[in-house]
Amino acid sequence: MAKEKFERTKPHVNIGTIGHVDHGKTTLTAAITKVLAEKGQADFQDYSMIDKAPEERERGITINTAHVEYETANRHYAHVDCPGHADYVKNMITGAAQMDGAILVVSAADGPMPQTREHILLARQVGVPAIVVFLNKADMVDDEELIELVEMEVRELLSSYEFPGDEVPIVVGSALKALEGDAQYVAKIDELMDAVDSYIPTPVRDTDKPFLMPVEDVFTITGRGTVATGRVER
């Protein structure tokens, strides 16, 4: 039987989760797929499917960038979940260089941490045009003033790296609670995706020109042969 032709009717946007190790980037990625799967706009990917490497699951951290896909009413997204661990910054840069926009995940319980700053700087350096913020783990913070303080810190930090800190949408929620189906926090995932839809600009693609992918590196992998890596620019 002939394979059905894939036709993309919505604008395509490359997006990703960035932020400090253990602030909940992978849990948020899983929560987005779960909430959208219930509307038929994604295949649910749980945490273990996104963090595939044994070391990632054992240590509860992401090492390699992982990719998932989903849709909203307006767009089709390819989502890259970037590692927050300091040792894997090179993998994060490779992921960030492909992004049309990013979701910066910051724990409301901890506030901005070293990799939060590092990832904002990297996003600026590789030309990520827009950032939306998700203040995660809000269920662990009882004090509303503390959340407001963290929000203010994040806005100042973004402004210091020439992102429009005062304008950036900040959504306060809990990825874990959304993943568990808590209606209050599921609504926050919807709010986040609305912010991503409206705030991150739709990229202009040169689809009428020939394919272009500068080769960044070449590896020889046992059992696979020679593998070229790079970024598809057109």
Other CB atoms within a 10 A radius of the CB of residue 209 amount to 8
pLDDT, one tens digit per residue, over 165-224 is 999 999 999 999 988 888 999 999 899 999 999 999 887 766 677 877 777 777 776 766
pLDDT in the model for residue 60: 44
- Per-residue confidence band for 1, with pLDDT thresholds at 50, 70 and 90: very low
Q: At 100, list the tokens.
A: 């049309």
Q: Which of 20, 25, 177, 188 is catalytic?
A: 25
Write the CA distances from 117 to 19, 113, 174, 203, integer angstroms: 8, 7, 21, 25
Residue type, 217: D
**pLDDT tens-digit profile of 15-31?**
888 888 778 888 888 88
In 10 A of CB 102, how many CB atoms?
29
Q: What is the pLDDT of residue 155?
A: 96
Catalytic one of 17, 20, 22, 23 = 22
Q: Is the dihedral of CA 37, 42, 45, 51 positive or negative?
A: negative
Kindly state the average pLDDT of the residues 72-92. 66
Give the residue-averaged pLDDT of 31-58: 61
More confident of the two residues 59 and 75: 75
Q: Check 12, 67, 76, 85 and give the catalytic one.
A: 85
Measured over the CA atoms of residue 176, residue 182, residue 185 and residue 187, the dihedral's sign is: positive
pTM of the model: 0.77
Residue 90 has pLDDT above 70, yes or no: no
pLDDT score for 150: 94
Both structure tokens of 101? 């926009």
Residue 91 has pLDDT above 60, yes or no: no
Distance CA 153, CA 6 (A): 44
Number of structural domains, the chain?
1
- What pLDDT is attached to residue 104? 93
> Pick the catalytic residue: 20, 23, 26, 119?
26
Closest CA to 193 of 117, 91, 88, 103: 103
More confidently predicted of 203 and 142: 142
Is 25 considered catalytic here? yes
In terms of pLDDT, which residue wins out, 42 or 156? 156
Please state the rounded mean pLDDT for residues 125-142: 90
DSSP 42: B
> What gap in Å lies between CA 28 and CA 11, rounded to an integer?
23
Judge whether residue 38 has pLDDT over 60: yes
Identify whether 22 is a catalytic site residue.
yes
Q: Is residue 21 part of a domain?
A: yes
- Tell me, yes or no, if 23 is annotated catalytic: no
Q: Is the dihedral of CA 197, 203, 100, 132 positive or negative?
A: negative
Whether 120 and 104 have beta carbons less than 8 Å apart is answered as yes
Question: Pairing mode, if any, of strands 170-172 and 131-136?
Answer: parallel
Note if 85 is an active site residue: yes
Average pLDDT, the chain: 78
Let me know if residue 5 belongs to a domain: no
The parent domain of residue 207 ranges over 12-230
120 found inside a domain: yes
Contacts of 164 (CB under 8 A, 6+ apart): 158
Provide the β-strand partners of residue 106.
135
Question: Any idea what the CATH number is for the domain that residue 146 is in?
Answer: 3.40.50.300
Report the C-alpha gap between 43 and 57 in whole angstroms.
21
Does residue 22 sit within a domain?
yes
